[in-house]
Amino acid sequence: MRRIAIAWTLGALASSLGATSAPAGDDIVLRGMGSFHIGGRIVEVAGKPTREIQRVPGGPMSKLDPNGQFMVEQMYVEYFLPRNRKGKYPLLMWHGGGLTGVTYQTTPDGREGWMNLFIRKGWDTYVSDAVERGRSGFASPDVWPGEPIFLNYQDPYERFRIGQGAGSWDADPAKRKPMPGTQFPLDAYDNYMKQSVPRWLSTDKAIVDAYLALVDKICPCVLLTHSQGGSFGFLVAEQRPDKIMAIVAVESASAGRIANAPKLKDIPVMMLFGDYVDQHPRWAAYKKIDREYAEAIRAAGGSVDLVSLPDIGIKGNSHMLMQEKNNAESADVIQKWLVAKGMAE
Amino acid sequence: MRRIAIAWTLGALASSLGATSAPAGDDIVLRGMGSFHIGGRIVEVAGKPTREIQRVPGGPMSKLDPNGQFMVEQMYVEYFLPRNRKGKYPLLMWHGGGLTGVTYQTTPDGREGWMNLFIRKGWDTYVSDAVERGRSGFASPDVWPGEPIFLNYQDPYERFRIGQGAGSWDADPAKRKPMPGTQFPLDAYDNYMKQSVPRWLSTDKAIVDAYLALVDKICPCVLLTHSQGGSFGFLVAEQRPDKIMAIVAVESASAGRIANAPKLKDIPVMMLFGDYVDQHPRWAAYKKIDREYAEAIRAAGGSVDLVSLPDIGIKGNSHMLMQEKNNAESADVIQKWLVAKGMAE
């Protein structure tokens, strides 16, 4: 199977340098854009004491009642519809853990993110913030158990293969040990950390439910997922196999339920990985989970292309590859695959 | 002074029905769009125990260290730059309490929000999520004191003049008592509640600091603020009077520091109010604060137009007027004022 993936990618790469994307600087022409929230449920909270609060300094006091009906577990979705549509289906971009749709919007060094690049390639593009991230809001401790987790500066640097693993971080930028040849814009690491948002460890079901609601509204569609979003994408595809026309899972962590993998037999899947994966225990473990899920899809007659960017000559990418210096090149690898699978002109 | 405002608005209204905005359905042509985070600071947390967590079901265990450096109090900003630019300066849209930039993006009933409408009018438009709202993320209890507040279904309905004040809410939609003639899309109240996000009561300084950083990056500019954002807009204008070319404060709650109001003497200000304000104690109180601030600006030789929409024949608007059925009409009132003040063609 690895042979098949490489054969495809080398062939695709040979013809991939033709300009499939309009360069930044050209106008983006949209026949529509907007946002909506989807999913969610109303919960009742009762028995908590009310209190008087001053909502703005100098303003009047007013009652805050923690009881009553609350909307929770809704999801925010932003969409852009290019005039020159070339994608056969909408493209849904689902981000990873501790992040939001901003993952796809921009890069830490301020260039265009995959969102713009795929809009320029002609995709109707839907970027969401998973439940409890970003503009989706989050529920009170009265509704959700546990507390959110917060990532310090060191955590993604060492865990996302920007630095050389444990011990590579230092508060002094000059003393950090980045991966040799990294594509990550190291000088903009602060900006990457600004994109980070807290997340809960207890909300997976709510997240999947909202994604299901989105799929029921928008699809048939193509999923482009990253990291934690990859697991959600596979779990949703298992439940809506007729609605998902293709999946591009970028460094999925982890996969779906292996027993349900056969449900994806009619969905072409690309699993895309950056560099340094095999030498990092954490990512090697996720890749093994992904590979086993891929094997289970293939055993049912399905098709999975597992593509490691360094195997096709694209080196230096961390876990955040859509935000790195060569993000236009990695976007082109995905676009070529989608075209090959009949998803776009 | 009320006379002046009415004279202006009646004159403007007479010529306001010419199409200054392209209709929804026409293409939106952008010479650029993207997002960034700005502001923020690095804090150190120390002395907390680490723990092992499973970040995704079935994945490997990994260390979560609540100590170290954390990025906090950054702000998310999304921008859209129309090809056919007519606004002389960038237009910055600052939302109200417990909400995000989504306030301007869409309406509960799924029509175009003021963001699209003002982009169509030719404004370079920057929509932000205040610190600790939406895509700006929020800091841990180790960094910020206190807990966020959450709004139940009843709270905005009764407090934002959608319903007829206290007691007008009912869990059964058929039993609710909306304001007579309300412009709010009542059937879509669920969607409005989905836009709601928690907020803290202790973060005003951090919010203003991030807005100052944004102004220092983007301005000279025009501010369009709503509710709690109005107070932040005035506080920022007091500190950067040379950078703010005009302010449109929609139902500001509350205003700036009265002692600093003279600093706004060279900034044309519009204070815009919806319907039912004077009969609602809460909003009457805010309007009084705004009016006193306006008087202080005028006493220093400045210019403030205080416009009540019902006084110019536009009735039925709640506190969320940019999201209501007639949001294109209220946007046109603002646009006419901005043109009259030389801010746009």
For A185-242, the pLDDT digits (tens) are 999 999 999 999 999 998 999 999 999 999 999 999 999 999 999 999 999 999 999 9
pLDDT tens per residue, range B215-225? 999 999 999 99
Counting as low any pLDDT under 50, the low residues of chain B are 1-21
Helix (H) or strand (E) holding B111: none
What pLDDT is attached to residue B56?
73
Residue A24 Rama label (left phi>0; alpha psi -120 to 50; beta): beta
Of A32, A35, A67, the CB nearest to B105: A35
What pLDDT is attached to residue B343?
98
- Determine the average pLDDT of the residues in A39-43: 97
Mutate to test the interface with A, among B28, B138, B175 (most CBs of A within 10 A): B28
Binary contact (A135, B129; C-beta < 8 A): yes
Query: Which string of DSSP letters, residue by residue, matches B162-197?
Result: SBSSTT---SSGGG--BPTT--S-GGGHHHHHHT--
How far does B48 lie from chain A, in Å, by closest CA? 13
What confidence tier does A106 reach under pLDDT thresholds 50, 70, 90? Answer: very high
What is the sign of the dihedral through the CA atoms of A217, A222, A225 and A229?
positive
What pLDDT is attached to residue B254?
87
Of B24, B31, B253, the CB nearest to A27: B31
Asked if residue B82 lies in contact with residue B123, where contact means CB atoms within 8 angstroms, the answer is yes
What pLDDT is attached to residue B55?
79
Mutate to test the interface with A, among B195, B252, B293 (most CBs of A within 10 A): B195
Of B102, B141, B154, the CB nearest to A76: B102
What is the sign of the dihedral through the CA atoms of B110, B159, B135 and B224?
positive
Binary contact (B137, A196; C-beta < 8 A): yes
How far apart are alpha carbons B147 and B201 in whole angstroms? 8
What is the sign of the dihedral through the CA atoms of B215, B220, B224 and B225?
positive
How far does A297 lie from chain B, in Å, by closest CA? 18
What pLDDT is attached to residue B24?
64
Q: pTM to 2 decimals? A: 0.93
What pLDDT is attached to residue B122?
98
What pLDDT is attached to residue B262?
98
What pLDDT is attached to residue B259?
98
What pLDDT is attached to residue B142?
86
The owner of tokens 């075209």 is A339
Binary contact (A28, B29; C-beta < 8 A): yes
Helix (H) or strand (E) holding A151: none
What confidence tier does A326 reach under pLDDT thresholds 50, 70, 90? Answer: very high
Q: Compute the mean pLDDT over every residue in chain A, rounded to the nearest whole number.
A: 92
pLDDT tens per residue, range A275-311? 999 999 999 999 999 999 999 999 999 999 999 999 9
pLDDT tens per residue, range B24-54? 679 999 999 999 999 999 999 999 999 898 8
